[in-house]
Amino acid sequence: MTGPGPLVRLHGASFGYSDLPVVSGVDLELHSGEVVALLGPNGSGKSTLVRGILGLSAQQGGEVELFGTPRERFTEHTRIGYVPQRHSLSSSVRATVTEIVEVGRLPHRPWWRPASRADRAIVSEAIADVGLTDRAAAEVAALSGGQQRRVLIARALAGRPELLVMDEPTAGVDSANQEALADVLHRLADRGTSMLIVTHELAALEAVVSRIVCLDSGHVDFDGDPAAYAAHVGGHSAGSGHHHDERSPRSGHVLGAAPLDPGPREVSS
């Protein structure tokens, strides 16, 4: 179970590839129950930062702690669920939704032991969480891109993580599927699921996120709640006009021109 400290703590952390630093000097904490959106222009280092937290890109300096343990000594990897950046599952995958989601349970048992009744119940619950119970027996290749993205989220949820990390979950899907994904994340947030979401589609998630962190040229240049972000973007727009140009795909306005509404909204099943 999660203790009183932060789930993730970075102090002066730097990440990159080989000898090339991409993100440097990052101070950041993620706490239980938060839904944090990580924003920034292309090339700002968002994915590198997330991969650095997960141990998938080289730590080149500073401190990284996961659940109070230095990253290099952290072994409880099932406490973090990761949904990587990808547009869809391969069309060559011949597996059902249930079979893909069952993969999320494998780290919790020896490879030779069959799934238990409890494992099957957790898989069914994860599929229900993403609204795909009626497609549980369908082949994933027959699903839309947005539905496939929800399958990947369900696979991560099946591991019962304490922190869910998602890299661009709404990218590459149409507005209807963005809204369906946002509904899924809203239900998870209402249940207290902690999330770190790399996104360009803040408009689709504006009622979900509780905190926004912005990267620019490999450095954190904003960390605050949605109302503070609105003022931050407004100030940059009134000044140089150069900053995080996160636009609504429906309205085209720059988010932050008016305060985002982080309050409850009706969620469809």
pLDDT digits over 243-258, tens only?
454 443 333 333 333 3
Task: Point out the least confidently predicted range of 82-96, 117-131, 164-178.
Answer: 82-96
Tell me how far apart the alpha carbons of residues 228 and 260 are, in angstroms, rounded to a whole number. Answer: 10
SS3 239: coil
Give me the residue label for tokens 């409890």. Answer: 118
What is the H or E stretch that residue 190 is in?
helix 175-190
The encoded tokens of residue 167 equal 């890299």
pLDDT digits over 128-161, tens only?
999 999 999 999 989 988 899 999 999 999 999 9
Tell me how far apart the alpha carbons of residues 45 and 15 are, in angstroms, rounded to a whole number. Answer: 9
Please state the pTM of the whole predicted model: 0.84
What pLDDT, on the 0 to 100 scale, is given for residue 97?
96
pLDDT digits over 201-235, tens only?
788 888 899 999 999 999 999 999 999 998 888 87
What pLDDT, on the 0 to 100 scale, is given for residue 90?
65
Contacts of 112 (CB under 8 A, 6+ apart): none
Among candidates 197, 182, 200, 195, which has minimal Cα distance to 261? 182
User: Domains of the chain by range and CATH?
Assistant: 8-238 (3.40.50.300)
